[in-house]
Amino acid sequence: MLFKKANTANHVVSPAEAYDHQENSLGLFKVLLESIPGGVILISPDRTIIYWNQLAEKIVGYSSQEALGKRCFEILQSQACQVCRLFDRPSPPPVVGQECVLKAKSGHKIYVLKNASVLTDFQGQPVGALEIFIDITAKKIAEERLVQLERLKALGELAAGVAHDLNNVLTVIEGNITLAKRECPLEVTRRLEVIEKAARDGAEIVQRIKQFARLGQAREVYPVAINEVVLDAIKMTRPRWKTAAQSEGINYEVRTNLKSRSFVLGNASQIREILTNLIINALDAMPQGGVLDIHTEDLKSMVRLTVRDTGCGIPPEIMGHIFSPFFSTKGEKSSGLGLSICYSLVKQFGGDIEVESLPGKGAKFIITLPKAKDPSLEAEKEPEVKEAEMTARILVVEDDPFVRDLLAEILQGAGHHIELASDGQSALKKFSPGLYDIVLTDQSMPGISGQRLSATLKGLDPEITVILITGWQNSSAEELRQSGVDYFLAKPFKVEQVLSLIQQALREGPPDGQAQELPDNSVEPQNFSA
């Protein structure tokens, strides 16, 4: 017995009274334990659970009927738990504030903060242990997310540097290929086009690096041929579901039913990423092979895209978490960001994403995206009368000598008068109000950045037009405008893009409102027959 009613010298307690007192004490004891704001369990010396309150039931998932009579380690399956060890030592100190990981009935880990102490009788002999724990899972997840975000921030900064350097290299390669094609015979031109295609593939890889660091931010949206993107995503993942799988004796059947005849509003590269994520997840859910169905169909104002597998399905208890950042059932091999990025992008495109699943019955992801007008059906514009090319006095500021020389060759070849500067400090020495029409500057330079240089030059000459060239841009168009940037161009750029932007700047001058962006130089998807 944990509690006794002592006899007094003046009164002999009858058995009935003793029973009543015992019942009252136990009732009061249970009320007390149920009122504690935490899970409460009582454990006998042989580690059997003899009491299990309602909050313990709520936190761990086992009812009192399921828990009572079981050994504590059978139910809680806790790691590094010190409570059971209390019985192994004489006069053990209480356990205070121990963080412990329990395994819930659902199979999920639960982080708890635990206090425990041994209960003794009047002779000091252990009769059980009282354990109280509170659920700190949300707090631990928040802490882990903070750590993950710090890691992602560091990776993003690393990605920024890598992307900037790669874009400089690709800019020089693509620019010189374009110039060389103008002077080379046809056979050499064909070989140059192969190199140019490889450079374009490199540019697309850099775009993926940039998107990784921007994590779930939607880029420019435009009409996208959804069926082409579906086929492209299937093609991109073919090494996984075809080549690698068959080498291990695993067979996947990928089936398509592409009924939609519409364009959707989105970004082709990012919709491809969404589909790739869903395809890879489906394959992971079918480690022994299976069927992957991808359908598109037109609704009234939306297009429905369905990705369905015949895999293991999703347990009901985690359905509400699968789109949460850093939530994963794959352990350390997954960041837990794939589906959360998919969710974020679909929402930013004005669409929706849902999932239907039953354990052992596979999973079905349903995406709806808003329809967009078919670009080919837009009214044909009147042919524009080509305006005469204008020439300008341009100050080029670029710290990379190869990019600087490339820009010089491009601009001089178009008849512009140029002056070169290797950094912001030398540019300021060369600059005088009215001396130049345009300043073309890189963003990432030692000493003075392109944005700081732009703000300084605008202070000296408000009429000067500033074009910022960057391989990595984290500032918004409005922020660039506030620092004096009128136009900006992403690396790697094409020769035609540079010349076209110069002509636009000469015709229109500094624009009102936000800085004008020339779209990223990205690779369009290639269609194939699945």
CATH of the domain at 501: 3.40.50.2300
HSE-CB at 519 with a 13 A cutoff on CA atoms is 9
The radius of gyration of the chain's CA atoms, rounded to the nearest angstrom, is: 34
- What is the value of pTM for the model shown? 0.43
CATH of the domain at 367: 3.30.565.10
User: Are both 370 and 397 inside the same structural domain?
Assistant: no
Last residue of a domain, one of 105, 135, 165: 135
According to DSSP, the residues that pair with 79 across neighbouring strands are: 101
User: Is residue 154 domain-resident?
Assistant: no
User: Are both 268 and 403 inside the same structural domain?
Assistant: no
Q: Is 40 left (phi over 0), alpha (psi -120 to 50) or beta?
A: beta
Q: Is the peptide bond before 492 cis (omega within 30 degrees of 0)?
A: yes
pLDDT for residue 524: 32
Please say whether the dihedral angle defined by the alpha carbons of residues 116, 122, 128 and 132, taken in this order, is positive or negative.
negative
User: Are both 407 and 370 inside the same structural domain?
Assistant: no
User: Are both 369 and 399 inside the same structural domain?
Assistant: no
User: Are both 402 and 343 inside the same structural domain?
Assistant: no
User: Is residue 265 domain-resident?
Assistant: yes
User: Is residue 236 domain-resident?
Assistant: yes
User: Are both 369 and 450 inside the same structural domain?
Assistant: no
User: Is residue 63 domain-resident?
Assistant: yes
User: Are both 221 and 369 inside the same structural domain?
Assistant: yes
Q: How many CB atoms lie within 10 A of CB 325?
A: 19
User: Is residue 23 domain-resident?
Assistant: no
What's phi and psi for 500, nearest 5 deg?
-65, -40
User: Are both 346 and 485 inside the same structural domain?
Assistant: no
Which residue from 134, 305, 325, 157 is spatially nearest to 227, judged by alpha carbons?
A: 305
Give tens-digit pLDDT for 456-514: 999 999 999 999 988 766 666 677 788 889 898 887 788 888 898 999 889 887 766 54
pLDDT for residue 290: 94
User: Are both 234 and 366 inside the same structural domain?
Assistant: yes
Q: Classify burial at 379, counting beta carbons within 10 Å of its beta carbon; exposed 0-12, middle 13-18, buried 19 or more.
A: exposed
pLDDT for residue 164: 67
Last residue of a domain, one of 67, 100, 135: 135
User: Are both 127 and 239 inside the same structural domain?
Assistant: no
Give tens-digit pLDDT for 239-266: 889 888 888 889 999 999 999 999 999 9
User: Is residue 150 domain-resident?
Assistant: no
User: Is residue 257 domain-resident?
Assistant: yes
Q: Classify burial at 227, counting beta carbons within 10 Å of its beta carbon; exposed 0-12, middle 13-18, buried 19 or more.
A: buried
pLDDT for residue 228: 93
Last residue of a domain, one of 312, 347, 374: 374
Please, which residues have CB within 8 angstroms of residue 117's CB and are 6 or more apart in sequence?
86, 94, 95, 129, 130
User: Is residue 206 domain-resident?
Assistant: no
Letter for the amino acid at 426?
S
DSSP letter assigned to residue 172 = H
pLDDT for residue 493: 80
If one counts the domains in the chain, the total is 3
Domain containing residue 94:
36-135
User: Are both 112 and 224 inside the same structural domain?
Assistant: no
Which residue from 187, 193, 337, 328 is spatially nearest to 277, judged by alpha carbons?
A: 337
Integer CA distances (angstroms), 415 to 230, 410, 418, 436, in order: 45, 9, 9, 15
User: Are both 301 and 407 inside the same structural domain?
Assistant: no
CATH of the domain at 74: 3.30.450.20
**What is the mean pLDDT of each successive set of 10 residues along the chain, which is 530 residues long?**
46 56 62 82 88 90 89 71 67 82 81 87 83 88 70 65 69 74 73 71 64 56 92 89 88 94 90 91 91 94 94 78 62 58 83 87 92 73 60 91 88 91 93 93 88 92 90 68 85 84 86 52 31
Integer CA distances (angstroms), 486 to 419, 433, 461, 477, in order: 20, 17, 13, 9
pLDDT for residue 357: 86
